[in-house]
Each structure stands twice: as C-alpha cells, then as structure tokens.
Structure 1
Amino acid sequence: MMISNVSLLVSDYDRAIDFYVNKLGFILLCDVPVTAEQRWIRIAPKATVEGAVASGAVASASALVLTKATEQQKMFVGQQAGEGVFLFLQSDDFWQDYQRMKTLGVDFLEEPREEVYATVVIFRDCEGNKWDLLQPKSVA
C-alpha cells in the first residue's frame, strides 16, 4: 500500500492550478469535470511525475487533489494544519528553486535557514497554507 493522493482544499480551482503550475512548477496530471461544481484535479511536482514515468507508474504517482471547498469546509481553506506547516516540498537545488519562486511572487514568511536536517524556508500557497521548501542534508 501507499499514499497516492492528499486532498487540498481550495476556494477556486483555476487560481490554484495557476499557482501550482506556474509558480511552483507542478504538472497538471488531470482535470476532469465530475459535476457542474466539482472537478477531479490532480497535480504533482515535476520530479514526482518524471520518477513515475521512469518506473511506469504514472497513474499511481503521489499527487495533490485540488478539492473545491463546500460551504461547511470554507473555514478550513488555508488552515488545513491550523497555524503549522501543512506540506513539505523537497528540492534538489534549494537556492535555485527559492530564487525562481521568489521572482515569481511566492509569499515567503522568513529568510532561508540552515537546520541540522535541511536548508529550509516557509512559504504560503495561494490559499494561505504554510509549506516548507527544503533540501535535506545527509544525516548519518
């Protein structure tokens, strides 16, 4: 077994797709209408998709499912982890990714810092969720 998808509440599908694809460099895996109000939208970081293609497992690649919030869920948009960091975006080239994202207007909440486990910085997505951009260090 594996975790295949994580649901991410959004208030607007197209705004979320724009942010994740154009600012974070994710790949839009699918965008399928389900009802007049709901769509099945899966996105994933480019490296995740490339790894899945190499292994022949694209359909089972881990992804985010953008889920339009219902009336009852609207209060949780941008707060899926309360005030904490919700998701972690791992980089192979932290400084390049950080500069690219900063140039594209991603909202960073601090300056990058060196921790014992990684180079890391917190940013906020288009809905207000906190993310860590990090590049792990070799820890014995």
Structure 2
Amino acid sequence: MTQGAVLAAVSLIVPDYDSGIVFYCGALGFRLTEDIDQGRKRWVTVEPPGGGARLVLAQADGPVQQAAIGAQGGGRVWLFLRTDDFDRDHQAMLRAGVVFEERPRDEAYGRVAVWRDPFGNRWDLIGPPHASG
C-alpha cells in the first residue's frame, strides 16, 4: 500500500439513483460530484458539504441487492457524518425531515446523535465536544 492512499468513496446501495440524489443533495446539502450514464447503469457520486470521502450511490440490481438496502451495516451505525457545528447541522437536518433515533448526547469523542436516512441506513452525526457551562 502506498503512503499516499486515502479512502476516496464508499458504495451505498439505494433503491434508485434519483431518490438517493434527492435525499443526499436536497435534504442534506451534499454536492453531486458525478452523474455519468454508463448505459445499463450510472456512476453517481455525492460529497458532504465539507468534503471528505464520497458516497457512490449504487442502484440496487436484483433481489439480493434490494434486500441489502438499509442493511449494509447489519443494523449497526456504520456511516459517520462529522460536523464543525453540531447544533446548526442537527437543527437543519430536523427541519429537512431527517429522523433521529435519539436526543443528542455527549461522549468523550464529541456530541453525537444517531439518525437514519430514508433507506434505513444508520448514521452518527458527530460534532465537537459540547462546551460545558
């Protein structure tokens, strides 16, 4: 492995490309970085507002992939969205209709709350540690 290697993207199975784009780019404000027609399929990538690893939105093809929608993490939180302002982004996500499974909590690594995308994937929203008063 070269020292310059970085994790560039993670594939996320979605019911269809357009519903993935609508949620990630519309509700969450991700940037559509690529949408390339490849004939039978499309190469679609989205990137969080602050940059970082991209999501490759992969339209489910067949029953096995359909069954994997929302289950790629085996029921665990498996995707992590880091923010520099937890309260700002938590409120914006609530306004956009994002469903949080819990109230924000403080951990040693920062302020965190678990949420689900409309496809069933569990995520953490993670911000800097909450300032104690």
> TM-score, normalized by length of structure 2?
0.89
**Where is the helix percentage greater, Structure 1 or Structure 2?**
1
Select 2:56's aligned residue among 61, 65, 69. 65
SS at match of 1:98: helix
> TM-score, normalized by length of structure 1?
0.85
Give per-residue Cα distances to partners, 1:9-67, cap 9 Å, x unaligned.
Answer: 0011111101001111100001111123x11001011111xxxxxxxxxxxx6311000
* 1:93 matched to 2:97: no
* 1:43 matched to 2:35: no
Which residue of 2 is the match for residue 30 of structure 1?
Answer: 34
CA distance in 2, matches of 1:91, 1:104: 16
Which residue of 2 is the match for residue 53 of structure 1?
Answer: none
CA distance in 1, matches of 2:39, 2:71: 26
Structure 1 residue ranges (4+ consecutive) displaced by more than 6 angstroms after TM superposition: none
Percent sequence identity is: 42
SS at match of 2:23: helix
Q: Give the paired residue count.
A: 125
Give per-residue Cα distances to partners, 1:77-136, cap 9 Å, x unaligned.
Answer: 001101100100000000000001101100111111111111000110121100000113
Structure 2 portions without partners, runs of 5+? none
